[in-house]
A = this chain, B = another copy of it.
Amino acid sequence: MTGAEDNGNGPRTSNNLKARRIALDTHQEPVIITRRDCPVCRSEGFSAHARVQLEARDRQIIATLYQIDSDLLEADEAALSDSAWELLGVEEGELIHLRHPLPLQSIGGLRGRIFGERFSRDSMRAIIEDVAAGRYADIHLAMLLTIMATQPLDDAELVHLTEAMIEVGDRLRWKRSPIADKHCVGGLPGHRTTPLVVAMVAANGLWMPKTSSRAITSPAGTADTMETLTRVDLNLDDMQRVVEQENGCLVWGGAVRLSPVDDVLIRISRVMDLDAEGQLVASVLSKKIAAGSSHLVLDVPVGATAKIRSRADGERLAGRLAAVANAFGVETRILLTDGSQPVGNGIGPALEARDILAVLDNSANVPLDLRERSIELAGALLELCGAAEPGRGKTLAAGSLDSGRALAKFVAICEAQGRFSQPPLSCQQVVVEAARRGQVRRFDNRRLARIAKLAGAPAAAAAGLDLHVHLGDPVEIGQPLYTIHAETVGELNYAREFAGSNGDIITIAADGEEAP
């Protein structure tokens, strides 16, 4: 054979460019920009929007290539986005090596699954390893999630997925057992029980090292809410220190790299506006198992406009969660709860945080539904872990709220995490009033969540909405139904417009009239 010296796999003697940081924020997407006349691109045949493998020191990543015709860059320079810069760990002027990425073998597993094969342990692991290494383009990630939504994973595949997601991340080991955990399969606005459950459970001596997600398609996740009260981006060491000191913590799962693939999948799900069941189960359980949880209470709210719309769906999902949890030796108890209306009054990070503090404070305006739901969950967890006799868990949990022990524990946890502060207040509000007289008969949870998101939640922490009525309440014309909160005028108006053209989000029926 004839041929040449550098085959692209050998030593990095050619195809090198000098790294330049241009402080370009592309969020998670690694981007590299070169001159169009850059000799490396010409010799390798790289064109704009190509995916290119970058190598420096012992790291390699895949980035999207853009090309520029200007003297902002020299021909031997490559500008990196902040995300590429951090993943690659280079310094200004350091040489980076460019090459064609090898074909992704794991894509074959995706294609096979489309045409009727099942994911094996190996094929699933190969896929998740490629995702974790950033080798999948958004297009591949969307393929994976769409396949999982259209042709749901069976139990064996779900165990493979969960296992693979655990294996590519860090894993916590605790000095004590049991390790208590809870999770709510979302879909209900507000409903921020987790911080209260951690406070009650930790106040009763159990360890509950809680990691939570940010919102996927909802106006707030527990991590978004907690961030208005304390630091949530703790690393593993800090998290362990907080738990050893205070029995519990409330941190963002993404920062501790438990199941890091989950956050990548969440970013894509958010754009797709879709949660695939398989992703949901693996997302929940991979984080619980990686966090070392041994006992798990699952809250599944069921309601016509909740994520889970019928009891049958709720039981099916609960069954899948329990089956996979059991495969990893995790004890579970599943509570199907009422999902017909928001729990608590606030929807949005800071407004939900305010409700949590009201419950802990036993203040006059405590949202009783949030208090009751939290007590129910904490009680179930205390019983599951053997910290309360069967049937006595709720009493024990409620006692820690009433005595102020849960509040003290919550504040101590926040302070151990870095600070305890009051949630921010919004600077823009508008009140939405009842257009008719009657009784509150139905809430459209999805569209309520939509208003809160249009108002800026969760990115704008103080944004969201505050409910002034609940199911069954009598209302008069002009009585406030809810207040929209926003941080900018533009967002307030998006939300207000949507509310104005969706007058039936809260159904009000006259006495004796059937709700439509």
Q: Name the contact of A488 in the complex, choosing from B22, B45, B141 (C-beta under 8 A).
A: B45
B47:A494 contact, CB within 8 angstroms: no
Interface flags for A43-64 (1: CB within 8 Å of B; 0: not) read 1110111000000000000000
A3:B142 contact, CB within 8 angstroms: no
B70:A22 contact, CB within 8 angstroms: yes
B8:A44 contact, CB within 8 angstroms: no
A residues neighboring B (CB under 8 Å): 1-9, 15, 22-29, 31, 33, 36, 43-45, 47-49, 66-70, 72, 81, 99-100, 107, 111, 114, 137-143, 146-147, 149-151, 268, 271-274, 428-432, 456, 459-460, 487-494, 496-497
Q: What residues of B have a CB within 8 angstroms of the CB of A487 in the complex?
A: 45
A143:B146 contact, CB within 8 angstroms: yes
Selected A-B contacts with CB under 8 Å, 24 pairs: A2-B430, A3-B428, A4-B492, A6-B490, A6-B493, A7-B493, A8-B493, A23-B68, A23-B70, A25-B68, A25-B69, A43-B489, A45-B491, A66-B81, A107-B272, A137-B271, A139-B141, A139-B272, A140-B142, A140-B271, A142-B146, A143-B272, A146-B146, A146-B150
Q: What residues of B have a CB within 8 angstroms of the CB of A7 in the complex?
A: 490, 493-494, 497
What DSSP secondary structure best describes chain A's contact surface?
mixed
B150:A142 contact, CB within 8 angstroms: no
B49:A496 contact, CB within 8 angstroms: no
B8:A490 contact, CB within 8 angstroms: yes
Q: What residues of B have a CB within 8 angstroms of the CB of A72 in the complex?
A: 22, 72
Contacts A22-B70, A271-B139; A3 near B493 (Cβ below 8 A): yes
A140 to B270, CA, bound (A): 11
Q: What residues of B have a CB within 8 angstroms of the CB of A268 in the complex?
A: 139
Contacts A490-B44, A494-B8; A49 near B68 (Cβ below 8 A): no
A24:B67 contact, CB within 8 angstroms: yes
Contacts A15-B490, A430-B3; A139 near B142 (Cβ below 8 A): yes
A114:B2 contact, CB within 8 angstroms: no
Q: Name the contact of A3 in the complex, choosing from B25, B66, B100, B492 (C-beta under 8 A).
A: B492
A44:B139 contact, CB within 8 angstroms: no
Nearest CB to that of A493 among chain B residues? B7
Q: What residues of B have a CB within 8 angstroms of the CB of A44 in the complex?
A: 488, 490-491
Q: What residues of B have a CB within 8 angstroms of the CB of A146 in the complex?
A: 114, 142-143, 146-147, 150
| Chain B CB within 10 Å, residue with most, of A7, A28, A432 | A7
A75 to B451, CA, bound (A): 30
Min C-beta distance of A2 to chain B, whole Å: 5
B107:A25 contact, CB within 8 angstroms: no
Q: What residues of B have a CB within 8 angstroms of the CB of A15 in the complex?
A: 490
A490:B43 contact, CB within 8 angstroms: yes
A2 to B480, CA, bound (A): 14
A494 to B3, CA, bound (A): 11
Q: What residues of B have a CB within 8 angstroms of the CB of A33 in the complex?
A: 24
Q: Name the contact of A24 in the complex, choosing from B68, B431, B490 (C-beta under 8 A).
A: B68
Q: What residues of B have a CB within 8 angstroms of the CB of A493 in the complex?
A: 3-4, 6-8
A33 to B5, CA, bound (A): 40
Q: What residues of B have a CB within 8 angstroms of the CB of A492 in the complex?
A: 3-4
Q: Name the contact of A25 in the complex, choosing from B36, B151, B497 (C-beta under 8 A).
A: B36
A240 to B252, CA, bound (A): 62
Min C-beta distance of A346 to chain B, whole Å: 19
Min C-beta distance of A505 to chain B, whole Å: 15
Min C-beta distance of A399 to chain B, whole Å: 43
